[in-house]
Every structure is written in structure tokens, then in C-alpha cells.
């Protein structure tokens, strides 16, 4: 059986399954096993797509986000890329059994790796001038089909009209390429990821969601999100017509999405609590921590911003100017975690904040892991790592316009020939790999992975 996977970055079950009139997706769901799919921790694009593809946790992959601290440095970082992934993905297992795959835009897939089949880079690809395909000559085919291929758009900008136009162009080109590869390549497994849905959510959520604290009810952008879902449905409909009846089709997302309530300035809070020592005199709002004078010899902890917060403890013998003795590490970390859980909202409201220790939630925690990972108010509040703000509670994102945050549940839908009616299921991101491998006839490999075979 051939397997075709439609990846929709950040698609939430509430919208994809229930909110909009999407006739092609509805038709598929009528004979599908589908429901919410719980993401990994952290619930972000990198590492989630690779957790899905490998069946491994972020700790096993050594991927905790898009950027990582290099070693135990205070200011050096490295950016996630495909060569950092050492675990086998479903297409690798398939290739070992002689099956061919098309993998298009599955993060992180730049630089493209050698596979038995064809690979096209994901949103981290710098631009179309680079070597973004395997085999390399596939790039010339792509240019003949769609011209300059678009990997991503800059979505954190005030010119929303330009953002909308670029997202539409990117998505239409992506589906045109998907259909070309679908028809011209001899494949057994095909997976692509459309990043445009995530960009539309982040750039236009406040115009769509009446409950957003910055909602603009009469904006010309109020229908951008519904319109984009309809675009996706049309493109998916045209694509499904090219598949035969014996092909299993999956629709999946790496995480969900919801409105952002605000952005919490975590490093400012650490300074107020006496855990981070830095001179803030005269600095402008939005100043990065690296741009201020930090007294590391007096600092216990500092943080990184993002959809979730990463907290690092300044450990003696690990960090260059560490102060916390390793014998006191657990006690200090527990105390900071308790302080974080007790943070309340701007009006004194109780938050549902979650604190994770990497070595407790993963079988192994490889690579440059943080000491703590924090979901402020169940991810409703982003984490701001910047400084110089009048308050710790920011109405907007500190690194450019962004209206939405991630939620823990993405989507899972499986349609295959022997399903006669819809069935609801709850699953996790780790169920994807064994399910796909089982569909491909590799049940022996599927049994070696965590997670369950769905269907």
C-alpha cells in the first residue's frame, strides 16, 4: 500500500475538523480515523515534525527548538538543521526495504540528505539559490515547474497585505510541485509539509478571533484565515484526485494554535527576583540580554524567550562563571521552578504554568538541553527574553507582530481503503511513525518504536 501524508503546520483540531466548510477534507474524514494528536514537549515545529517522523523524543534527538545554546556558552548558539538528526525517519526505514520516498518540506530537511527517492528542503532553507534537493538535479526540474521555489515567508511584519500575498503564492507553488512529483516519481511513501498555515495563524489571528485581546472586528484581514483554509481545501481536493483508491492518506500537524494573551518578560522577572544580575540603566525596550552587562559571578539563572521559555542555571564548573554548586543544583532548580509556577497574570489571575525538567520527561536528554522548559499559562503567554519594558506583561510579541501561540494538540486523520465510516481517536505524535511503517508493510520495525499503530 502506498502512503501519502499531508502535513499542515500548526493545524488545530478545533478549526480543521469543525469550524469551516471544507468539502474535500470533510469527504476524506467521512471514511477516516481521526482526532486530536498530542504533540511533544516542546510543542514547536522543530523538533515536532522530526519526533513524528522518527518516533523519538526531543531528548533522544537532542533538538529542543530552532536554536540551541552551544555547549555551556552564555552567548554562542547553533541553529537546528538536518545533519543534527542522527535517528532514522520512516523514509529511511522504507528505503532499507527497497521502497522509494518523496519528502518535501519536512523540518528540518536542509541541507537535503541522501535518501532512496527525492527530498526537497524545508522552511529553514536560506533561499532558492542554494542546493536544496536530493538528488541535486531535481532542483532544475522544480525550477521548470514553479520557477523560484518559495520555502517560507517573513510573517512578523506590519505590511499584512504583502504577507498574505506571499503566503498564497508560496502555497500555490508548493501544491503545484507536490502534484508534479506525485505524478512523475515512482514513490511508495510521500510526505509534504505546508508551513503557510502556521504563518497565516501567527500573522492574522487577532483579526479572526473575537476573543483576542487585540481583536480588530472590522479589519480587511478578518477573513484571511478562513479564506486560507478554503485555499488549502481546494488544493488538497485537486491533489487527492491524482491518487488511486489503494493509497492510504494521512493529514497531520505538529501542534495546534490558539490566541496569544500576551508576552511575559521572563528575564526582567528573574532580575526582579534577584536571580539574574544585570545593569538596565538607560536601555531601550526590546534590548536583548546579550547587549547588556550581566554580572555572571552573581547570577543564578537566565532565560531564553519564544513560544516556551528555556531557563538555564549558572552552574559552577559547567558555565565559565558559574556560581551554583552542583551539590545544590536540584534544590536551586526546584526553588526556581516553584517560583515560576507561582507567577500570576497581570490582574492577579492564577496561571496554569507547567515546568518540565528534560531528564525527567525524556528517556535520555542529549545535546545542549536547557535546565528547565516552561509553558507560561499553558502556552497562552509567550516568553519574552528581551529587557527594558515598563512591565513584565507585554500586550504584543517582543520580536515582531505575532498574534497566536501554540497549543499541545495538533491533528491526526487516516483514510485507507478498508475504512467505511468515521471513527474518532485520541493519539500522540509518537503514534505516527509506527502507523506509517505498518501501512508500508514494515510491521516488524513498527513494533520496535514507542507509540501505537492506529487503524
What does the domain layout of the chain look like in residue ranges? 3-260+406-446, 262-401
What's the gap between Cα 370 and its chain centre?
A: 18
**φ, ψ for residue 103, nearest 5 deg:** -125, 115
pLDDT on residue 45: 98
Residue 433, CA distances (Å) to 53, 166, 193, 447 in order: 6, 32, 16, 10
CATH code assigned to 3-260+406-446: 3.40.720.10
Q: Give the residue among 256, 249, 215, 242 at the shortest CA–CA distance from 43.
A: 256
pLDDT tens track, the chain, 455 positions: 999 999 999 999 999 999 999 999 999 999 999 999 999 999 999 999 999 999 999 999 999 999 999 999 999 999 999 999 999 999 999 999 999 999 999 999 999 999 999 999 999 999 999 999 999 999 999 999 999 999 999 999 999 999 999 999 999 999 999 999 999 999 999 999 999 999 999 999 999 999 999 999 999 999 999 999 999 999 999 999 999 989 999 999 999 999 999 999 999 999 999 999 998 888 999 999 999 999 999 999 999 999 999 999 999 999 999 999 999 999 999 999 999 999 999 999 999 999 999 999 999 999 999 999 999 999 999 999 999 999 999 999 999 999 999 999 999 999 999 999 999 999 999 999 999 999 999 999 999 999 999 98
d(CA 389, CA 302): 17
How many angstroms separate the first and last alpha carbons of the chain? Answer: 14
Residue identified by cell 471514511 is 31
pLDDT on residue 202: 97
pLDDT on residue 80: 96
Residue identified by cell 527576583 is 273
What's the gap between Cα 55 and its chain centre?
A: 16
pLDDT on residue 281: 87
d(CA 249, CA 6): 8
Instruction: Locate 82 and state its grid cell.
Output: 538536518
Contacts of 379 (CB under 8 A, 6+ apart): 43, 258, 307, 308, 405, 406, 407, 408
Tell which phi-psi region holds residue 282, choosing left (phi > 0), alpha (psi between -120 and 50) or beta.
Answer: left
pLDDT on residue 4: 98
**Do residues 268 and 392 make contact, with C-beta atoms less than 8 angstroms apart?**
yes
The vertex-84 CA angle with 366 and 257, nearest 5°, equals: 80
**Do residues 253 and 37 make contact, with C-beta atoms less than 8 angstroms apart?**
yes
**Do residues 264 and 411 make contact, with C-beta atoms less than 8 angstroms apart?**
no
d(CA 10, CA 107): 13
d(CA 376, CA 331): 22
Q: Give the residue among 267, 250, 272 at the shortest CA–CA distance from 189.
A: 250
pLDDT on residue 17: 96
Q: How would you label 429-442 residue by residue, b for 16+ Cβ within 10 Å and e otherwise?
A: bbbbbbbbbbbbeb
Amino acid at each position: 500500500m502506498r502512503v501519502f501524508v499531508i502535513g499542515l503546520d500548526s493545524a488545530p483540531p478545533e478549526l480543521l475538523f469543525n469550524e469551516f466548510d471544507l468539502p474535500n477534507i470533510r469527504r476524506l474524514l467521512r471514511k477516516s480515523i481521526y482526532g486530536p494528536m498530542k504533540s511533544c514537549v516542546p510543542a514547536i515545529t522543530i523538533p515536532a515534525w522530526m519526533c513524528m517522523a522518527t518516533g523519538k523524543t526531543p531528548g533522544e534527538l537532542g533538538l529542543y527548538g530552532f536554536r540551541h545554546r552551544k555547549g555551556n556558552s552564555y552567548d554562542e548558539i547553533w541553529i537546528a538543521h538536518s545533519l543534527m538528526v542522527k535517528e532514522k525517519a520512516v523514509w529511511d526505514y522504507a528505503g532499507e526495504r527497497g521502497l522509494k520516498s518523496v519528502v518535501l518540506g519536512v523540518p528540518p530537511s536542509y541541507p537535503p540528505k541522501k535518501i532512496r527517492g527525492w527530498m526537497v528542503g524545508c522552511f529553514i532553507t536560506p533561499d532558492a539559490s542554494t542546493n536544496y534537493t536530493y538528488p541535486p538535479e531535481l532542483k532544475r526540474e522544480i525550477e521548470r515547474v514553479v520557477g523560484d521555489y518559495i520555502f517560507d515567508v517573513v510573517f512578523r511584519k506590519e505590511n499584512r497585505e504583502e504577507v498574505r500575498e506571499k503566503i498564497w503564492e508560496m502555497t500555490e507553488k508548493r501544491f503545484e510541485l507536490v502534484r508534479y512529483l506525485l505524478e512523475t516519481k515512482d514513490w511508495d511513501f510521500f510526505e509534504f509539509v505546508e508551513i503557510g498555515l502556521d504563518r497565516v495563524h501567527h500573522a492574522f489571528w487577532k483579526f479572526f478571533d473575537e476573543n483576542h485581546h487585540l481583536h480588530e472586528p472590522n479589519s480587511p484581514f478578518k477573513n484571511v484565515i478562513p479564506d486560507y483554509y478554503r485555499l488549502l481545501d481546494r488544493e488538497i481536493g485537486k491533489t487527492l484526485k491524482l491518487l488511486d483508491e489503494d493509497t492510504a492518506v494521512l493529514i497531520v500537524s505538529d501542534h495546534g494554535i490558539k490566541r496569544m494573551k500576551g508576552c511575559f518578560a521572563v528575564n526582567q522577572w528573574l532580575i526582579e527576583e534577584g536571580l539574574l544580575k544585570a545593569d538596565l540603566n538607560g536601555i531601550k525596550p526590546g534590548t536583548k540580554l546579550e547587549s547588556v552587562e550581566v554580572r555572571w559571578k552573581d547570577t543564578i539563572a537566565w532565560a531564553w524567550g519564544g513560544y516556551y521559555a528555556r531557563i538555564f542555571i549558572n552552574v559552577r564548573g559547567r558555565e565559565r562563571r558559574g556560581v551554583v554548586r552542583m551539590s545544590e543544583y536540584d534544590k536551586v532548580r526546584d526553588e526556581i521552578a516553584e517560583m515560576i509556577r507561582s507567577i500570576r497574570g497581570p490582574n492577579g489571575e492564577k496561571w496554569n504554568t507547567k515546568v518540565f525538567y528534560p531528564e525527567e520527561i525524556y528517556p535520555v536528554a542529549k545535546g545542549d538541553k536547557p535546565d528547565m522548559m516552561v509553558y507560561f499559562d499553558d502556552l497562552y503567554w509567550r516568553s519574552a527574553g528581551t529587557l527594558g519594558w515598563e512591565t513584565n506583561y507585554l500586550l504584543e510579541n517582543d520580536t515582531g507582530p505575532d498574534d497566536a501561540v501554540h497549543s499541545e494538540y495538533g491533528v491526526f486523520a487516516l483514510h485507507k481503503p478498508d475504512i467505511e465510516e468515521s471513527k474518532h481517536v485520541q493519539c500522540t505524535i509518537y503514534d505516527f511513525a509506527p502507523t506509517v511503517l505498518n501501512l508500508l508493510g514494515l510491521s516488524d520495525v513498527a513494533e520496535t518504536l514507542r507509540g501505537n499503530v492506529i487503524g
